[in-house]
A = this chain, B = another copy of it.
Amino acid sequence: MRTSQYLLSTQKETPAEAEIVSHQLMLRAGMIRKLASGLYTWLPTGLKVLNKVAAIVREEMDRAGGVEVLMPVVQPADLWEESGRWDEYGPELLRVKDRHKRDFVLGPTHEEVITSLVRNEINSYKQLPVNLYQVQTKFRDEVRPRFGVMRGREFTMKDAYSFHLTDDCLGSTYQKMYDAYTRMFERMGLEFRAVIADSGAIGGSVSHEFHVLADSGEDAIAFSSGGNFAANVEMAAVPAPAPQQPSGTASSFVSNAGGVEAVCESEGIAHDRAVKLVVVSTEDDQGEKGHAVLVLRRDHTLNQVKAEKLDNVALPLQIASDDAAAEILGMPLNFVNPLDCPLPVIVDHSAAALADFVCGGGEVNSVQINANWPQAITSVDIRNAQAGDPSPDGDGELTIKRGIEVGHIFQLGDKYSKAMNCGVLNESGKHETLTMGCYGIGVSRIVAAAIEQNHDKFGVIWPDPIAPFKVALIPMNMHKSQRIKDAAEAIYAQLTELGIEVLFDDRKERPGVMFNDMELIGIPHSIVVGERNLDNQQVEYKNRRSGEKQLLDVEAVAAFVQQV
């Protein structure tokens, strides 16, 4: 491709609207343009990357036994009523009326459509299992679209749905998808991790997220140093530590205290030897509402996903504000004594393991020091794992890294197939409801995540497999020198002939402008054709990632490029 026939659209200035580096660089490198909030046009350079990502996704889906279909963007509301999601789904679901005033939605996901398809098309266990996928435009009417295509409203997703007679069979396809996702991200040249995840609102039991690692990632991921454990921090179990032994020092109360923190400071006691309290709402089986107090070590943070799994905790989790908690307990939370509390007390493992700890004294301005739990205290896991915690699999310590979720696989079970009556006749001729898996990949999001992971101050640094072009061909002052032009044209012809994707910068621009643009776009390999090197029948090669330069004989360029 010649830049003169291309829509390059690079920008020097960082657009003010873009908060994160991938959004900035996608705008600056001419990959996307905003049409409206959360709606982006993919310019040629962006689309090339998007298409490469999609091609790898398709190849690995096919290899893993997936069969591609294409479902409409616009879906009839009646299917959503059948599944119950017409009412459940919030305003992210864009609802539309057609000219006949019938209700439709713009599909944020396709469980209903695929389940309706399969219940019509598949009647016998002999046709199972089946794993149908599509690469399609989705729409989610995010309340605050941001970060460019990282959290847009219209985006490209690969979504796959598998249908099975048994959970064993589902497990086997799930594993194939896990492996296929692993191969996809490996092939894209991305550093990523599969982590145990919460299946959340989608339902089902087993679920893994695939994260591209990047410091700017929204999610925290816990890894074991042993290498076999990885989970979203919200899902990383924290084993109960061995209980500390009380020193025997008698407990005492500090009066006129500012609070637990102030006492720790003044007494020189570390924060990991004090506790803090959180008040949450409860509702028991009889519908009786109330509150409970959660107790954590002062240096730990509450894990809301874990807390929501506690018995009788009201869902979604409702944490009382400081004022509300003070009203409920009759004093500021800071002075409430967990050893003598009018509400039920639920203690985190690590807080329960403490001896000689600091806590509220049970009346205003009172703090207890050298407190100890009664012998028989039971505890639960309700805190976030943090770096240095022992790995739940017993193999080393946890490290925390940031990740961007780009894939999510679920064992859905029968949530949709039951609601929508999707089943087949089994071997004995009996009707059985199917069990489902679903497997999503944010195709457009991968492009942004790849940039978050691969960039420097000059621009994007594409991994070769998803680069918009493999080679940037930069002739210096070609419009003044026939010799440069001839040499560049010859190299271009040669590389193109070999099927290598080259961006040939034939603009009448200063070399500096060309270098900057090609670095900004992030093309992995550059060939610079200049007068001085041509005197020796040579051109300069530069590697975008390493910055390494070397001279190549003109006739060796093609072979070299094919090989890198």
Contact across chains for B7 and A69 when beta carbons are under 8 A apart: yes
Residues of B within 8 A of A65 (CB): 5
Q: Is A560 an interface residue (CB 8 A)?
A: no
Q: How far is the CA of A121 from the CA of B45 in the complex (A)?
A: 14
Q: With A47-B69, A67-B44 in contact, is A9–B121 under 8 Å at CB?
A: yes
Q: What residue in chain B is nearest A39 (Cβ atoms)?
A: B72
Contact across chains for A72 and B154 when beta carbons are under 8 A apart: yes
- Chain A interface residue count, CB cutoff 8 Å, equals 51
Residues of B within 8 A of A141 (CB): 98-99
Interface members, chain A 515-560 (any B CB < 8 Å): none
Residues of B within 8 A of A73 (CB): 73, 137, 139, 154
A352 to chain B, nearest CB (A): 45
A68 to chain B, nearest CB (A): 6
Contact across chains for B47 and A68 when beta carbons are under 8 A apart: yes
Q: How far is the CA of A332 from the CA of B73 in the complex (A)?
A: 54
Q: How far is the CA of A40 from the CA of B70 in the complex (A)?
A: 9
* Most chain B beta carbons < 10 A, residue from A42, A47, A74, A106: A74
User: Residues 459-489 of chain A: 1 if any B CB is under 8 Å from the residue's CB, otherwise 0?
Assistant: 0000000000000000000000000000000
Residues of B within 8 A of A6 (CB): 67
Residues of B within 8 A of A121 (CB): 7, 9, 33, 43
A324 to chain B, nearest CB (A): 30
Interface members, chain A 86-103 (any B CB < 8 Å): 91-92, 94, 96, 98-99
Q: Is A250 an interface residue (CB 8 A)?
A: no
Contact of A117 (CB < 8 Å), options: B41, B75, B98, B104 = B41
A117 to chain B, nearest CB (A): 6
Residues of B within 8 A of A69 (CB): 7, 41-44, 47
Total copies of this chain within the assembly: 2
Q: How far is the CA of A207 from the CA of B36 in the complex (A)?
A: 32
Residues of B within 8 A of A104 (CB): 36
Q: How far is the CA of A36 from the CA of B77 in the complex (A)?
A: 10
Contact of A36 (CB < 8 Å), options: B9, B76, B94, B143 = B76
A329 to chain B, nearest CB (A): 39
Q: Is A113 an interface residue (CB 8 A)?
A: yes
Q: What residue in chain B is nearest A444 (Cβ atoms)?
A: B70
Interface members, chain A 260-318 (any B CB < 8 Å): none
A315 to chain B, nearest CB (A): 24
Q: What residue in chain B is nearest A77 (Cβ atoms)?
A: B36
Q: What residue in chain B is nearest A36 (Cβ atoms)?
A: B76
Contact of A35 (CB < 8 Å), options: B33, B72, B106, B139 = B72
Q: Is A254 an interface residue (CB 8 A)?
A: no
Contact across chains for B113 and A67 when beta carbons are under 8 A apart: no
Q: Is A130 an interface residue (CB 8 A)?
A: yes
Residues of B within 8 A of A44 (CB): 67-69
A121 to chain B, nearest CB (A): 5
Q: Is A438 an interface residue (CB 8 A)?
A: no
Residues of B within 8 A of A76 (CB): 35-36, 39
Q: How far is the CA of A238 from the CA of B389 in the complex (A)?
A: 88
Q: What residue in chain B is nearest A6 (Cβ atoms)?
A: B67
Contact across chains for A117 and B33 when beta carbons are under 8 A apart: yes
Q: How far is the CA of A294 from the CA of B47 in the complex (A)?
A: 55
Q: How far is the CA of A9 from the CA of B113 in the complex (A)?
A: 16
Contact across chains for B91 and A99 when beta carbons are under 8 A apart: yes
Q: Which 4 A-B residue pairings sit nearest by Cβ, starting from the closest?
A: A42-B70, A36-B76, A91-B99, A39-B72
Provide a sorted-by-A list of 28 A–B residue pairs whose CB atoms are within 8 angstroms: A33-B117, A33-B120, A33-B121, A35-B71, A35-B76, A36-B75, A36-B104, A39-B72, A41-B70, A41-B72, A41-B113, A41-B117, A42-B71, A43-B69, A43-B121, A44-B68, A44-B69, A47-B70, A50-B70, A72-B154, A73-B137, A73-B154, A74-B139, A74-B153, A94-B98, A94-B99, A96-B96, A99-B143
A sample of 4 more A-B contacts (CB under 8 A), given A41-B117, A106-B106, A137-B137, is A7-B69, A39-B75, A40-B72, A41-B69
